[in-house]
Structure 1
Amino acid sequence: MARRVGRGDGTLKTAPWLRWIWLGPAAFLLVFLAVPLAALASRVWDPESVARLLDGPTWRIAALACVQAGLSTVLALAIGLPIAAVVSRYRFRGRALAQALVTVPFVLPTVVVALAFRSLFGPSAPQGLAVVIVAHAYINLAVVVRIVGARWSQHDDRYETVACTLGATRLRAFVTVTIPMLRASIASSAGVVFIFSFTSLGIVLVLGDSTTRTLESQVLRQTSVLLDFPGAIATAVIQLLLVCTVLAIGAIVTRRAPTERPLPPTLRPLPRNALGRVSVLAVAGIACALVLAPVLALVLASFTSNGALTFDWWRSLGSIDAGTTRIGSPLSALATSLAFAAIAGTIASLIGAMAAISLITHRVGRITALAAIVPLGVSAATLGLGTLLAFGRPPFDLRATGLLVPLAHSLVAVPLVVAVVAPALRAADPRTQIVAASLGAHPTRAFATAYGPILRVVMLAAGGLAAAVSLGEFGAASFLARAGDPTVPIQIVRLLGRPGPQSYGVAASLAVVLVILTLALVLVIDRAGRGWRQSSGRTSEAGLA
């Protein structure tokens, strides 16, 4: 059967297993996404759960969470837009470092970020709305800088030049020309930041108080403290509906935004006037300082006790009494997290790669790849609760296997894997496959020749990204992890819930270890990305030779 593959200019005989590869991710999403959500939805139609959908206290929590998320979004935009303007438009020494540092908070576990802010402001600093908003803006800074910066780097400045020649001031030209052109990217980033802040759990638990509860934290409280499962199900459904509403509003705003023909991304030299040069460098320097301050405070907290230098907290990592209630040492929690991350990274990279491959081998693959993005719109607490309802009781009780947490983590990471692998496959030159097939190669061999080198590299990068997500994930794990087998984020929250300097110091040390592991995975991803670009170039040259 002749089928067109990729962006090529010929028809190829596609291997049968490639045409049906979409069945793998489709089955995975059906079992571990659709079934848990169906299990959750089936209990909503219970009369008690339906009544709880109209529960006043739950909607008051939703309103408070909306206010908190809105303020967090405004602060993230206020800080992120100037940084995006600098790192995406100007060429200066240290630009790449500033851009990389801005990305660091987003890849760090939320519990680690929360503990870093407690270390920065001091353990006795008051908790509440203000510090939660600042922490949310900090962790989502990369969302604004990356999304808006990518669009800003392609903006044609001649529009502003024309406006100024017609008598507009620079400020008026920026407000009437630049901002409307960036409206789509600003709306997109604002929507993402709002959803992340609205569904926040780790930061709210560590830094928040009764005025900063989110629906995510309410679901956790209802299931683990109040044992109110009908109320938790109703709360999870309300949160899902609100998230979908925000996504729909963001899509409408983005669609109505004005467009322009984008230019190739280019960097311009620093402004000629001294004030402009100082302003650009000052923004870059402030951005680096804002990112590094909490992390350095966290590292310092792991080595100090009552203002004196100590290594006791690090030596206590292997102790079963390190601030815990004899449920295992912090190092055992680290071993559990690493094992879960390895399993989740492997599963997510395989499922996500199959979904991405199906995009270029079968029409149904587009639907499968689109379905693979759905977990981004489902909160971790909702996913964890649904998984617990579906696979935490007979006849499909998987709790004893220890696979519930890595399966939930892999589901959360699959959309990111698809986002990494799919563009790499689309960027590959399909003529290499055509040449291999014309020389008599089997369809599978021809596909492997064209896409194999790229897949090996990007799957490594995607697996590392999935492992990093698993290491820091807290929401789903808080529902699914067994009491005697916690992950590192859960162990950190438990340590912070106990009084005394030892618990705080050991939590800080454990958080520093998690920071090191996460950044190591980011470096692996970065090296893999460079390897992909080199492999792509070599494969294209070989195919055209």
Structure 2
Amino acid sequence: MASEGASRRATGLTRRGYQWVRERSLPIAALVAGMVLLVVFYFPVAVVFLEGVVVDGLPSLAPLREVLTDPFYVGVLADVFARPTATGEHLDSLLRWAATGFARPSLGLIGFTAYQAVLSTVASVAIGLPGAYILARYEFRGRRLLRSLTILPFVLPGIMVAIGFFAMFSTNGPLNALLGVFGVAPVEMLFTLEIIVLAHAFYNAPLVARLATAAWEGVDARTVETARSLGASRRRAFFDVLAPQLAPAVLAGTVLTFVFTFRTFPIVLALGGLEMATIEVWIFSRIQQLDLTTAAALAIVETVISIGVLALYLRFESRQYGAGQAPTQIDREPLLPSFRALFRPSRVAISVYGVFVAVLFIGPMVSMIAESLTGPNGLTLSHYAFLFDRQSGGTAFQIKPWPAVRNSLLFAGATLAIALPTGIVVAVRRVRGDRGGVLLDVLATAPLAVSGIVLGIGLLRGLVFGLPLPGGWRLQVTGGVAIVAAHAAATYPFVVRNVAPAIGRVDLSLVESARALGASRVRAMVDVELPLAVAGIVAGAAFAVAISIGEFNSTVILAEGGDYYTMPVAVERYLGDRTLGPATAMGTVLLAVTSASFVVIDRVGGGRGDRL
């Protein structure tokens, strides 16, 4: 009898324990997600930051002071940071500068990074907004496909885009060949600020266009119609009614573009080199020189600036969420209702814009593919044969193509297995406003403010070298596991930003009904919320896979051993040896793999990945 009573008590405890876990499974899942982020993101980043504020085992701001008072890094602001209380002298210097007609001051490395980011942002918005206008206001054959393709450049690997621009704008590239037909001298654009700005616009103009298009399609048409019925002109209705509804999306795209171009690395590394170095490129250079203290100090400055700008992004993003989905939309008009419409000024302007966009967005990719198939004597497959020769064990190059392709796919699959569930849990907690939602919002955004180079250094210094544990144990993460950890930290914010809007569109009463019928919170999420949010989940998965395949910043730090090279690293190695043909061949393979992995976003996901 005693043993039977003990057995019943044990069974009761087990049931209560199971019930306790069942009722709290979502908070437990959020805690696990937080622990994953702590290990793969926050701890490595903290390791880097400590390098910049700890000297000889003691806290010190000397590394930061050295950076902020060095004209090489901050230009004319060096004296301001060195003597912040000398306001009178600084004011006199400002007046003397004004007297010289505001001559261009010395910007320094940090100032130049911000300057090129501003130029790149202006170019991206200027190119992206007309595209958003066309996609939102006009109906034409292929509009949906074109709208789907607007996000594809954003997920293409940066090193591959650099290869495309290198092939198109080189001295012997298609652009100069075309100019030669018209008797125009060759234009030298490589290793200039202009080519960097154009390459950044290639990336971010489609992002601006997609965000603005989604906002434009969500505008309540009745507000515009009411303004027109009250006598407002088309222009007045645009600026007074339409523009305020579009502003949050446009500003969010603008701010996000600045952050991405401020933290630029592969584009500048390939097209600008150290002559056009940004903070990210110089951090990489300092690491190669084993100057980790300066690299850490620069990383802290870069991250602080990025976080400050991202705070604006979160503000604009929250206004987008608050706007909701409009019940009616502005009707689209046919782009070409008749042949005579071809000669209307607006249609001529659209045609000119279309030609420019085709040159900017299609030209580099076509040039890369054409370069991979061209040799001194015309069409050839020798560059692809070169890759196969390396695969069979040639000694001239240590990088073999198939292991790079295999590694990229394996790392992408492992990244998806970590980033997708982590992103889903964070998105559900964030949208449903559960306890800790504000903290999770910060967790979901922080990786966007930290560069892959910094994360790669942190993983290298922390987990790859090993972390001592009590009892003589040592936590060590090396090789492909470290690369997957870096990719997961970089990609999960994009999962959150695709899943969260989809979760937000699910009717909460359906979840409450499931709970009322006895379903646990997790069961309601799995059986009700996630199936209804599958479009956003698939979009987030596609982002995670595509970005992982193209991730270069952290991978180039962690994949120093040839066994862990990925396709982007292989492309950069071929290009570094000035072998443009094999680099373009490997870039073409990378383009095919990345595009194939991302095509599911609109075919399976229903085209709902409008937010980032």
Partner in structure 1 of residue 556 of structure 2: 478
Which of 451, 454, 464 matches 1:382?
454
Could you say which residue in structure 2 is the equivalent of 1:79? 127
Residue 37 of structure 1 is matched in structure 2 by: 45
Count of aligned pairs: 515
Aligned to 1:489: 568
CA distance in 1, matches of 2:482, 2:377: 42
Which sits farther off after the overlay, 482-491 or 261-270? 261-270
Give the 3-state SS of the residue equivalent to 2:565 in structure 1.
coil
Alpha-carbon distance change, 190 to 365 in structure 1, aligned in 2, over 3 angstroms: closer
Q: Matches of 2:144 and 2:496 in 1, distance apart? A: 26
Candidates 584, 599, 605, aligned match of 1:508: 584
Could you say if the C-alpha distance between residues 201 and 260 of structure 1 is closer, same or farther in structure 2, counting changes exceeding 3 Å? Answer: closer
**Contact 1:128 / 1:209 at 8 angstroms: preserved in 2?**
no
Deviations 1:36-91 (A, max 9, x none): 22222222222452343323322211111111111111111221111111112222
Q: What amino acid is aligned across from residue 216 of structure 1 in structure 2?
A: E
Match of 1:140 in 2: 204
Match of 2:136 in 1: 88
Q: Distance in 1 between matches of 2:569 and 2:332?
A: 46
TM-superposed deviation, 1:380:
1.4
| Structure 1 length-normalised TM | 0.84
Q: Distance in 2 between matches of 1:65 and 1:324?
A: 39
AA paired with 1:36?
P
Contact kept? 2:274, 2:282, Cα under 8 Å:
no
- Residue 152 of structure 1 pairs with residue 216 of structure 2: yes
The CA distance in 2 between the partners of 1:513 and 1:401, in whole Å, is 24
Residue of structure 2 in register with 1:131 after alignment? 195
Structure 1 residue 50 corresponds to structure 2 residue 64: yes
Q: 1:260–1:363: structure 2 CA closer, same or farther, 3 Å change rule?
A: closer
Shift of 1:27: 0.8
Q: 2:35 aligned with 1:27, yes or no?
A: yes
Task: Verify: 1:333 aligned to 2:404, yes or no.
Answer: yes
Q: TM-score, normalised to structure 2's length?
A: 0.75
Query: Which residue, out of 220, 229, 248, partners 1:184?
Result: 248
After superposition, the CA RMSD in angstroms is: 3.4
Which is further off, 102-111 or 442-451?
442-451
Distance 1:473 1:210 in 2: 21
Contact preservation (8 Å) 1:72, 1:137: yes
2:604 matched residue in structure 1 = 528
- Secondary structure of the residue that 2:29 maps to in structure 1? coil
- CA drift at 1:519: 1.1
Q: In 1, are the aligned partners of 2:464 and 2:476 still within 8 Å (CA)?
A: yes
1:227 to 290, 295, 304: 290
Match of 1:121 among 155, 159, 169: 169
Q: Do the aligned partners of residues 288 and 61 (structure 1) sit closer, same or farther apart at CA in structure 2, a change above 3 Å counting?
A: same
Counterpart selection for 2:418 from 347, 368, 377: 347
Q: Quote the Cα distance in structure 1 between the aligned partners of 2:607 and 2:207.
A: 25
1:97 aligns with 2:145: yes
Change (3 A) 1:431 1:172: closer
Whole-angstrom distance in 2 between the partners of 1:155 and 1:329: 51
CA contact (8 A) 2:216 2:246 kept: yes
Report % sequence identity. 30
Equivalent position of 1:462 in the other structure:
540
Please say if residues 30 and 425 of structure 2, whose CA atoms lie closer than 8 Å, have aligned partners that are also in contact: yes
Q: Is the 8 A contact 1:120 1:298 kept in 2?
A: yes
- Contact kept, 8 Å, 2:191 with 2:276, in 1: the verdict is no
Deviations 1:262-281 (A, max 9, x none): 84444421377831455446
Match of 1:295 in 2: 365
Letter in 1 for 2:450: V
C-alpha displacement at 1:316, in angstroms?
2.0
Aligned-pair distance for 1:457?
Answer: 6.5
Residues 256 and 448 of structure 1, relative CA distance in 2, 3 Å threshold: closer
The worse-fitting range, judged by mean Cα deviation, of 450-459 and 480-489 is 450-459
**Unpaired stretches in structure 1, ≥5 consecutive residues:** 1-12, 534-545
Q: Is the partner of 1:530 in helix, strand or coil?
A: coil
Q: Is 2:249–2:316's contact at 8 Å kept on the other side of the alignment?
A: no
Q: 1:378 to 1:531 in 2, by over 3 A?
A: closer
Contact 2:137 2:331 in 1 (8 A): yes
Question: Contact 1:220 / 1:381 at 8 angstroms: preserved in 2?
Answer: yes
Shift of 1:425: 2.7
CA spacing shift, 1:252–1:211, aligned 2, 3 Å: farther
Tell me which of 294, 301, 314 is aligned to 2:384: 314
- Specify which of 306, 315, 318 is matched with residue 243 of structure 1: 306
